[in-house]
Amino acid sequence: MLSFALKAAISGVLIAVASTLARRFPGFGALVASLPLVSVLGMIFLWINKPDTQNMAAHAEATFWYVLPSLPMFLLIPFLLRHGVGFWSALAAGCALTVALYLAVTGIGPRFGLRL
């Protein structure tokens, strides 16, 4: 339980730092938010709990393939906001697009040999 609380605290601090920076320096806050810190921390925690090279390699590769469908969201949201769509609607549309693309990757990926 202590391990879980530590992981949650570290993750929370990273989110708080990114959002605090973004209020004053939007570009720098975006840079911090875009860093694969959660992925790196996840790999570290996974390795500590289960030091298995095959498992880690599969995890890292799957992470790559799951990052790709999330990227269009970061183009759709600013496009919608700049065209008068409210924040919550733009966010919902971005999340819906991401879910649809995740489903597409998980459905089509195995046909091309991706193990997700």
At 62-108, the pLDDT tens digits run 999 999 999 999 999 999 999 999 999 999 999 999 999 999 999 99
pLDDT at residue 10, as a whole number: 85
Nearest by Cα to 70 from 45, 40, 42, 33: 33
Q: Over range 25-42, report the average pLDDT.
A: 86
Distances (CA, A) of 7 to 1, 15, 41, 42: 10, 13, 9, 9
User: In whole angstroms, what is the distance from residue 52 CA to residue 56 CA?
Assistant: 6
Q: Over range 7-21, report the average pLDDT.
A: 86
pLDDT at residue 8, as a whole number: 86
Report whether pLDDT(31) > 90. Answer: no
User: In whole angstroms, what is the distance from residue 115 CA to residue 57 CA?
Assistant: 11
pLDDT at residue 114, as a whole number: 86
Q: Which long-range contacts (CB under 8 A, 24 or more apart) does 12-21 make?
A: 14/38, 14/41
* pTM for the predicted model, two decimal places: 0.78
Q: Over range 108-112, report the average pLDDT.
A: 92
Q: Mean pLDDT of all residues in the chain?
A: 92
CA 33, 74, 77, 81 torsion-angle sign = positive
User: In whole angstroms, what is the distance from residue 110 CA to residue 52 CA?
Assistant: 23
